[in-house]
Amino acid sequence: MPRLLSITDEKKRDAQIELRTAAKTEQLRWVDRQGGAPLKLERLVKTTEKTSYDALSRAFTTPDALSQALVDGDPEIDIEQVGRRLGQASRVWVGASGQIVYAARVLSVVTDPNGVEKSRGDFVDVEATIGEDLPPIAWSGRLMPASQVIRRFALVRKLQLRHVNGLTFDFLLDIARSLQKEQKMLVVGAGPRGQQPLVFHTNGAPFRGFLEGRVDGDRYLLVLHLSNLEIKRVTASAAPDAGGSS
């Protein structure tokens, strides 16, 4: 389903346009090698809370007792449930005793790249910063050469901006023409000055955006490239003496 959002051009005019995600490549299907019958990957129950390792450890108190029970029988198999389709199961939280927790508290725990905890506090929802009912994306005016963008940021999502009527066709064609003329990409962000990350829905991933425009006669292509990852080394070894390729 296309999304709608508003965007501002360099003349500070805004218009509501539509966003589309990239088309998926044709999906392959799996069939039975012999008969050609279609196959489906199903998620089945393997272990229940009553037969999990934790539950068995509690029931048999010592490792030796558990080992003996496993030798003598099949306490780890719930014969009534194993192989059952999980279906539209609900996500719940269980405490140390294996019981469902009804008064759970959600925390946000931040760790650094080495896995060391930096902070811990109540989880706070991150609201969307752009959307159909939110203010238009501002024209930041900050332009970056595409050759620099692709070397600094991994562009992990792409959205195509499309018009919804004749007026917005002219509006987007002008933006694409302007960006193509500059041979640069527009840095796109949320907020009045375009400096906040783009968050498309509550608790969604925050992205930085780069708008690319191409024109071919009376046709245009406007793509919003999204990134949440910089192109940087992660290994501890010294960086090679890479020359200027920015």
Site for other proteins in 137-176 (CB under 8 A): 146-147, 150-152, 154-160, 162-166, 168-169
- Does 45 engage in binding with other proteins (CB under 8 A)? yes
- Residue type for 95, please? G
Name the token pair of 141.
């005016």
**Would you say 68 or 85 has its CB closer to other proteins?**
85
**133 touches other proteins by CB under 8 A:** no
Residue 37 binding other proteins, by CB under 8 A: yes
Q: Are strands 198-199 and 206-216 parallel, antiparallel or unpaired?
A: antiparallel
If binding is defined by CB under 8 A, does position 12 make contact with other proteins? no
Do 20 and 2 contact (CB within 8 A), yes or no?
yes
Taking alpha carbons only, the member of 130, 162, 134 closest to residue 226 is 130
Q: How many residues bind other proteins (CB under 8 A)?
A: 116
181 binding other proteins? (CB under 8 A) = no
CB of 5 to other proteins, least distance (A): 11
Q: Within 48-107, which residues bind other proteins (CB under 8 A)?
A: 48-50, 52, 54, 81, 84, 86-96, 98, 100-101, 103-107
Cα separation values, 94 from 23, 48, 103, Å: 39, 13, 11
List the Cα angle 13/18/21 in 5-degree steps.
135
Minimum gap (Å) between residue 192 Cβ and other proteins: 19
CB-CB neighbours of 187 under 10 Å:
17
Which one of 42, 64, 72, 133 is in contact with other proteins (CB under 8 A)? 42
Whole-angstrom Cα distance, residue 223 to residue 150? 14
Least distance (Å) between residue 187 CB and other proteins = 15
| 124 lies in the site for other proteins, by CB under 8 A | no
